[in-house]
Each structure stands twice: as structure tokens, then as C-alpha cells.
Structure 1
Amino acid sequence: MTMDDQAAAALFGNSFAIEEVPSRTFPDDGMSATDAMRLVAEDLAIEGDPGRNLATFVTTWMEPQAQRVIADNLHRNFIDHAEYPRTAEIEQRCIRMLADLFHAPGETTGARTQGSSEAIMLGALSLKWKWKERQQAAGRPIDRPNLVFGADVHVVWDKFCRYFDVEPRIVPLQPGKYTIGPEDVEPHLDENTIGVAAVLGTTFTGHKDDIVGINDLLLTIKSTRGLDIPMHVDGASGGFVWPFLYPHSEWDFRLEQVRSINVSGHKFGLVYPGIGWLVFRETADLAKDLVFEENYLGKTDATFTLNFSTGSSMVLAQYYNFVRYGRAGYGYIMRNMQKNAQVLAERLRDLGRFDLIGADQEQLPLVAFQLSGDNAFDEFDLAWQLSAERGWMVPAYTLPPDAQDVTIMRALVKQTLSREHVDTLARDIADACQTLDRKGGAHESERAQMVTGPGH
């Protein structure tokens, strides 16, 4: 007696083992929970190893206890404060803790967001609305707002300007100069400038703009020209790094013109995606017209976000990390990452093939480097060889204008990259270079398979 295929699949295997999985049309029939779980798991099994992905800034590991907090609270809708008032309180605790970490001078406010992109949109919107208030009070027009930032920013700043009708005044980079300072910003400022955006820990090289110098410039303009131009610090990556690695470096609310800061909890805040934070210097820096009230979830609540319903798990996971690690724990983790980044930099320097970029400056825990001298291959070839040969994702990319002819690579050293991994990576880079020497570079068809870019 033989079983039919359906019965055999239920007993010995899975129903999709020899069939095309649903991908184009909504399936007519379902499958068992076990089969559905296996289908998704087996589909994802061929993706990359997050432990070898040195391109992404996003957290890929959390403690089992944190994962339990996340799993136990997946059902909670963060926006429903009537049903989940303690979750709302925990959000406010996190905002107050961040305000303290960033040296806010007094009572402040902020919001959790889906990530730094939403936080930046909200912070920039508040810059625009506060500028409109100043313009109207001075009897000036409000039809031509502009925002000044460097080409070293994340693409979300360009998105904001396009979405919300603000003129972007972008300071170009230069070969050998990959951040901006006051001398770059000053020519672009006028009465229509809603603010200046400065970066703490750029995606491209991990450095910071000259935030102190830009603040001093804005103070001078305020005293001499009567223009109160605020600064927003994009601390998406650096906001959880600088307070622990460079505590005496001033970039935050210790500087008078810094009025708002965003930071990604799902980067060096050590939380899974997606969680971001926006913190204002004081409550008056949030434009009141951007806050809405609603009462259709059981009580009257104020809301200041671009989306509405969203999960609570990552807010609770962020609070878990804050109370779990504290300043001592975050400092320990950041110093370990920095030490391993320094070891990797030394290994690359010893190979005699690479120039390091800004390794002697304040920097995120990463290594930015480029090939030196004459080689039969370039950085894109090396990135491909590392991926194909050993599974490492070490991105190669060109820099923004006017440094678009500069190609660099970047290895991000996160919490999960141990000293042994660093030594292995350095050996693999050396082996990949030798392979490419013999091959004379990667074949054009191999290069076409690459996914390039600075990562996020």
C-alpha cells in the first residue's frame, strides 16, 4: 500500500519540498504551521551570515533575556497608551535618560521613532516650523526655507528636503576632507536657513563634523546679524558611542545652538531594528503645531510621529539595555569594539597594502581604508573576493561629490566581532589580495554580482 504524496509529505517531509513556493499569487490553500515555519526558515537559510556582515551598523545580536522581553511583548501596540500606560512611561524614561546622557540643561521632550530616518524627519520638521515662527514674528516671508548640511549625511536628509519642500544647501566633500566645518557652512547661511545639520559618526568614514566650530559660527551670526539658526546633530551612529569613548568631546546640548539630536537605538544602542530616538534640548524646541491629540483609543493622548500604530517590543528592549548595562556596561562594550578596531587597523597597516583613513581621529569603532600604490585590482575587486571566498561583507564604495573619485572600504567592528574574528578577517584579506594578484583582478562578470554601497 502506497501513500499519496500529501500524506507522505505530512509524515516524512514538507509539502513544498518539490513544489514551487508561493511567490506570485495569493495562495489558494494554506499549509500546516510547521510547514509554513520551515518554508520561511529554509528560504532565509541561504542569506548571508550576520556575524560576517561588516557593512551594516544595525544590531544583529541581543542577549537571550532581551530576546525574551521582545518576544513577550510583540502584541503590544505602542500608541495605545490607554491599554499600555506603563509602556508609555518607559518611553519617557528612555527619553529622560538620553537627555541626561546628552547633557540637556533642564526639562525636555522627545519621541521614540521607527529609526533615525523618522527621527530626522520629525526633527527637521520642527526646525522648519520654528523657523516659520521666527520669520512671521520678524515680518519676513516663509516661502523659501533652506537647510544646510554636508554631503556626508545619510540620504534621509535629501528625502526630507524633497518631501517637505525645503531647499537643500549641500556642502560638497573634497578629496582628503570627508566632513564639514564652519568655513564650509558659512557661505550658505541666510535668513531663510531653518537650521544646520551636523553628523556625529558619518556612514562613510565614521568621523564627526566640526560641531563645535559650527556652533561657534552660529553664535557669532546670532550676535552680529540677529539670525538665530539652530543646529540638529544627526547622531544616528555616534550618539551611543561618543558619550562613552570620548566623554569630554563636546557635540551635544553642552553647545548652545544644538537644539535637537537623533540617535538610532538599533545601531550602537544595541537593540534589534527598528528603534530610533529624537531628543530636544528643551520643550520649547518642539513646535506645538506638530503635536496632535486624539482620543479614539480610550483616552486623550498627544502624538508626535509620522506613523501611528507600531510595536512596543523595541522600546522595552531599549529600556532593558539601559538598566542592564548602564554607563559602565555601555562604556565597556564600546571600548572593546574600539580595541578590536585598532587591532584590525594595525593588521591592515602591517600588510603594507592599505592606507587608513582618519585612524588617529575620534571615530566610530570601524576601520576605513583604501588600497595604496599600484595594484592589479581595486577595492571593488577585493570586496567581491572577500564575499565569494570567505563570506565577509566588507563594502567598497565611492564617496559623495566632490570626492566621488575616491573609493574606500569600511569594516565595522561590532559587539559580536571578537579578537579571533579580527585576526581571521585580516588573514582572509591578505589571502584575497594574493588571489587577486594571481588573477589580475576580478572578472567583469564577478564584479557585476556585487552589491556595493556604504551600508546602513
Structure 2
Amino acid sequence: MALSPRVREPENREQLCCTFASRYVRDSVPKFTMPEKSIPKDAAYQIINDELMLDGAPRLNLASFVTTWMEPEVDKLIMASLNKNYVDMDEYPVTTELQNRCVNMIAHLFNAPIGEDETAVGVGTVGSSEAIMLAGLAFKRKWQIKRKSEGKPYDKPNIVTGANVQVCWEKFARYFEVELKEVKLSEGCYVMDPKKAVELVDENTICVAAILGSTLTGEFEDVKLLNELLTEKNKETGWDTPIHVDAASGGFIAPFLSPDLVWDFRLPLVKSINVSGHKYGLVYPGVGWVVWRSKDDLPDDLVFHINYLGTDQPTFTLNFSKGSSQIIAQYYQFIRLGFEGYKNIMENCMENARILKEGIERTGRFNILSKDVGVPVVAMSLKDSSQHTVFEISDHLRRFGWIVPAYSMPPDVQHVAVLRVVIREDFSRSLAERLMSDIEKVVQLLDILPSPLPLKAANVSTIANDSDHHHKVKKSEMEIQAEVLEFWKRLVDGRRTGAC
């Protein structure tokens, strides 16, 4: 959520003016205060639609893991259920039933144990951020209850993660007063080292959080090794430190592409798992899921019972009212695609990632940081960043319509800057080929352009030095501009003729 400060209207009142709306209204619409009068619905639509045209195209937003395309049939289901408040379970019992079916399907997918002693429970959330908050609260409360029963202090809980975790983990730690102990990353290793993680565990650790699909590179962390090492430490110390798996990105990848990879409830210390339905669950935002290994892993005092909507309804959420449409959409995807459909889609995503990776490697300009086993992500750094940076490449790619994020790694490896491309279902082979072509064009353009910092330094120095040298620098800049214009001319002509 973007924080929006209150904005005071200037004296001349900044206003929205729309050519099309003038057919219906003559008065402009104020930007930051509510209009005094109503306007026709057509005008309101056109005013907003005109501004939204300046947003980026979602399918060309390769920064996001979030689903940007679904079938028309599910669009109809979503539209038909937009007015349903999911929390009103008594009024919408079928929607509640669909959520329960989804939870059971996900628990089965994650190999949750089935038996009298262990029966998985779960809930739908607005996204993985809420799911992580709920899972973290369950761990914190269970740890506090145990510490109280032992007569030990319970005011300094901590959680162990890698420095590569998504910001929602930092939010959980800050909002709910839990110390975040991060395992530092190192050159060439951009995920949590299980050995270092276990070394950070102490009696106040409520859980160790492993990431199945790092945001930085898409790589899976070694949850099995973490389970083995933590089991040994628990035996030595008498502690019972558990594991949570943040499978926001990888939870709908690993079961279909790497079924023999052991990371889920097959490991005894894994007590809860979250996954994003709106990522590779293939549903529009926002829907997430969190599943606990058994009912015992979710403390009873965190579950509220309400009856003012009709009947007794147990609820464990941070949000109360929320739409039903995304839960219905998730159920649609599960029964529409089935295991076979998800497997085919994920295989296709990985194949497109491989094609893109090979194309980028052929340029000879990049180091590929993403691994073969993980989320279909292509993360890359420049082999030579002395003249230009990935941030410049990201900026120039926007001219072709692409949104490709560039970012620095966390502390200790922040000297490594990365470009990352997320491959989603709607990223076709032809788009991958076009992106490769455009990246090559940008690299060729940067070969023409001077490095920004040296050029700035040169301009400053020439002002203080002789005018003849200053003239030569200016002339060089003019030549550079001519070369750039010629480059773009060739590019446009090539596109017109289909030569590019």
C-alpha cells in the first residue's frame, strides 16, 4: 500500500481536464478535493480511463510474480461474486466450502500428514504477507505459552531468516516486536546457509523461516538440510525450534516440477507453509494461503468466535471483510487445470526461462545468477559494470515497453547489482525472443553512450581548463548524439520492415 499524504489544493486549484468529458461537463474536476457536483457516469469513466492509459502494461511488467492473465470464464465468476463478503460464512456457505476444499487440496499437495493425531488446518488470506503474519503469530504465541509454563522470560522472541527474505518478514518482526536474526549472504550464495542459520538459533527462537523461491534469484533454499541440522541441535539443547516454509513463489512450482525434492510436511519440523495463490497459483491478486501441519500448531487463543453474522464462526485473520472472488477463482484453477494442467504450465514457464537464459548468455555480457532448480526467474548481473550499470539497462528497456527491475543485493553483497526477469504463464516464447532482441539493442546503444560518471567529471574538469579541450568534449558529445539518433533510426526502420 502506498502511503498518501494529504495534499492542499493550490490557490489556482489543480484540476483534471479531459477532452472527451467536455461533451458531458464543462467544469473541470478537482484533483484532491471531492467535487461539489455529480457528473455523468460516461464522463467519470472517461476521465479515469484516460489517466490509466499511462500505467504500464501488466503483461510487460517482468518485475512482478503476480498473475496478469486468466481465462474469460473465470473473469465471469469473479464479476459475479464481487459483491460477496467472504467473512459472512453463514450467508455464503458454498464459498466457505470452496475455501475449505482449496485448503485441503493445498495440504495434500504439500504432503500434510493424515491421521487422528495430525490433521492439517488452513485459511485463505489476502496474500502471502497476511499468511506470514498469521504463521508468525502462531509461532510467537506457542513459544510464549511454553516459556510461561516453564517459568522463563518470554519477552524477547526472535526469528531466524536469510537476508534474502521478502520485506513482509521485516514487517512481521517490526509490527509484532520480534527480533529478526538474518543470515548474511556471501558472494555466489544468495540464499540462506542452513548451517549458519542453525548457529543463530537460541532458546528464544520461535522458528526458522526458509524460502522456497528467493525473491532475489528464484532459488530454493535447502529445507531438508535445515531440518536435519535443526533436529540435531534440538536434541543437544532440549529445544523444539520449528521451521516455517515461505513457499509464496515456489509452492506451486516444486510439487509439479520437482516432486522428489523434500521441503514440505514430509519434514517433521516443518509446522506451517504459506503460498501465494496470486503468483504461480495463477489467480489475480490478492489471495494467499497458510496451512498448519496440525491443529495443535495453531494456538486456540488466536482463533476468534463470532456469531453476529448468523452462526458461530471461528476466524483467524488480520483482515475481516474481504472479497470472495479470488477464492472462487482459485478453486476454478484447481479443478480446471488439475495436476496435469499446472505441471504443463510450469514446464512451459521453465522452458521459456531456459530459452531466455541461453539467449542472454550468448551476448557474453552477463553472469546468470539464477539456478536450474527454483522459480522460473532469470536473474543476471553485468560482467563489466565499470562503464554502465544494470540500472541503465532497466531504464532503456522501458523505452521498448518492458518493465525489468534492477536492484542491489542485500548488505555484504550489495556491490552486486542485478536485473531480474520473472517468467509467468502469459510470457510466451515470442515475447522471450523479443526481450532478448531488445536487451541486445540496449547493450549496443550503451556501447555508443559514454559512462555517465566519467562524462560528468569530464565536463566539470573542462570548464576549469582550456576552452579548446572543452570544445573537443562538446564536439564529441554532438557526435555521440548523432550516433544515437542513427541507432534509433535504424531500429525504427528495421521494425517497419520486419528486419529486427
Is TM (by shorter chain) over 0.5?
yes
The Cα of 1:138 is off from its aligned counterpart by: 2.6
Q: Find the aligned partners of 1:225 and 1:273 in 2 and give their Cα distance.
A: 43
CA contact (8 A) 1:376 1:437 kept: no
Where does residue 30 of structure 2 map in the other structure? 22
The Cα of 1:135 is off from its aligned counterpart by: 1.5
What residue identity is the alignment partner of 1:261?
Answer: I
Q: Map Cα deviations across residues 228-271 of structure 1 (whole Å, 9 max, x no partner).
A: 00111011111111111111111110111000000110111110
Where does residue 362 of structure 1 map in the other structure? 373
Q: Find the aligned partners of 2:322 and 2:453 in 1 and give their Cα distance.
A: 46
Where does residue 57 of structure 2 map in the other structure? 49
The Cα of 1:222 is off from its aligned counterpart by: 2.1
Q: Find the aligned partners of 1:10 and 1:224 in 2 and give their Cα distance.
A: 71
CA contact (8 A) 2:29 2:35 kept: no
**Count of residues paired in the alignment:** 435
Where does residue 277 of structure 1 map in the other structure? 289
Identity of aligned residues (%): 45
The Cα of 1:290 is off from its aligned counterpart by: 0.5
The Cα of 1:335 is off from its aligned counterpart by: 0.4
CA contact (8 A) 1:378 1:441 kept: no
Q: Map Cα deviations across residues 173-207 of structure 1 (whole Å, 9 max, x no partner).
A: 11211111221112211111101111010111001
Q: Find the aligned partners of 2:346 and 2:355 in 1 and give their Cα distance.
A: 14
Q: Are residues 1:262 and 2:262 paired? A: no
> What secondary structure does 1:239 align onto?
coil
Q: Are residues 1:391 and 2:401 paired? A: yes
CA contact (8 A) 1:381 1:442 kept: no
Where does residue 437 of structure 2 map in the other structure? 427
Where does residue 460 of structure 2 map in the other structure? none
Q: Find the aligned partners of 1:157 and 1:374 in 2 and give their Cα distance.
A: 31
> What secondary structure does 2:153 align onto?
coil
With over 3 angstroms needed to count, the CA separation of the structure-2 counterparts of 1:125 and 1:374, relative to structure 1, is closer
With over 3 angstroms needed to count, the CA separation of the structure-2 counterparts of 1:208 and 1:10, relative to structure 1, is closer
Q: Are residues 1:240 and 2:248 paired? A: no
TM-score (norm 1): 0.92
The Cα of 1:98 is off from its aligned counterpart by: 0.3
Q: Are residues 1:210 and 2:222 paired? A: yes
Where does residue 320 of structure 2 map in the other structure? 308
Where does residue 419 of structure 2 map in the other structure? 409
CA contact (8 A) 1:135 1:141 kept: yes
> What secondary structure does 2:419 align onto?
strand
Q: Find the aligned partners of 1:328 and 1:176 in 2 and give their Cα distance.
A: 35
Larger Cα-atom Rg: 2
Q: Map Cα deviations across residues 264-291 of structure 1 (whole Å, 9 max, x no partner).
A: 1011111011001000111111111110
The Cα of 1:15 is off from its aligned counterpart by: 5.2
Q: Find the aligned partners of 1:102 and 1:355 in 2 and give their Cα distance.
A: 33
- Given candidates 375, 380, 393, the residue that maps to 2:391 is 380
The Cα of 1:110 is off from its aligned counterpart by: 0.9
The Cα of 1:374 is off from its aligned counterpart by: 5.7
Matches within 5 A, 1:120-159: 120-159=132-171
> What secondary structure does 2:427 align onto?
coil
> What secondary structure does 2:251 align onto?
helix
The Cα of 1:358 is off from its aligned counterpart by: 3.5
The Cα of 1:47 is off from its aligned counterpart by: 0.8
Q: Find the aligned partners of 1:434 and 1:10 in 2 and give their Cα distance.
A: 40
Q: Find the aligned partners of 1:14 and 1:329 in 2 and give their Cα distance.
A: 49
> What secondary structure does 2:407 align onto?
strand
Q: Find the aligned partners of 1:14 and 1:336 in 2 and give their Cα distance.
A: 48
Q: Map Cα deviations across residues 287-318 of structure 1 (whole Å, 9 max, x no partner).
A: 11110001111111001000101100000000
Q: Find the aligned partners of 1:245 and 1:105 in 2 and give their Cα distance.
A: 21
Matches within 5 A, 1:95-106: 95-106=103-114
Where does residue 482 of structure 2 map in the other structure? none
The Cα of 1:164 is off from its aligned counterpart by: 0.9
Q: Which runs of 4+ in 1 moved over 3 A?
A: 9-22, 441-444
Q: Find the aligned partners of 1:49 and 1:439 in 2 and give their Cα distance.
A: 28
Where does residue 78 of structure 1 map in the other structure? 86
TM-score (norm 2): 0.84
CA contact (8 A) 1:181 1:211 kept: no
The Cα of 1:137 is off from its aligned counterpart by: 2.9
Q: Find the aligned partners of 1:137 and 1:180 in 2 and give their Cα distance.
A: 32
Q: Find the aligned partners of 1:181 and 1:138 in 2 and give their Cα distance.
A: 31
- Given candidates 36, 47, 67, the residue that maps to 1:39 is 47
Where does residue 183 of structure 2 map in the other structure? 171
CA contact (8 A) 1:174 1:401 kept: no
The Cα of 1:70 is off from its aligned counterpart by: 0.2
Q: Map Cα deviations across residues 383-425 of structure 1 (whole Å, 9 max, x no partner).
A: 111112x011111100111111110111111111111111111
> What secondary structure does 1:120 align onto?
helix
Where does residue 449 of structure 1 map in the other structure? none
CA contact (8 A) 2:21 2:47 kept: no
CA contact (8 A) 1:370 1:408 kept: yes
CA contact (8 A) 2:20 2:46 kept: no
What residue identity is the alignment partner of 2:352?
Answer: N
Q: Map Cα deviations across residues 308-342 of structure 1 (whole Å, 9 max, x no partner).
A: 01100000000000000011000000000100000
What residue identity is the alignment partner of 2:46?
Answer: R
Q: Find the aligned partners of 1:255 and 1:339 in 2 and give their Cα distance.
A: 29
What residue identity is the alignment partner of 1:52?
Answer: L
Which deviates further from its counterpart, 185-194 or 9-18? Answer: 9-18
CA contact (8 A) 2:164 2:191 kept: yes
| Structure 1 stretches lacking a partner, 5+ long | 1-8, 445-456
Q: Higher RCO, 1 or 2 (CA under 8 Å, sep at least 6)?
A: 1
Q: Map Cα deviations across residues 339-366 of structure 1 (whole Å, 9 max, x no partner).
A: 000000000011111111143x312111
CA contact (8 A) 2:98 2:331 kept: yes
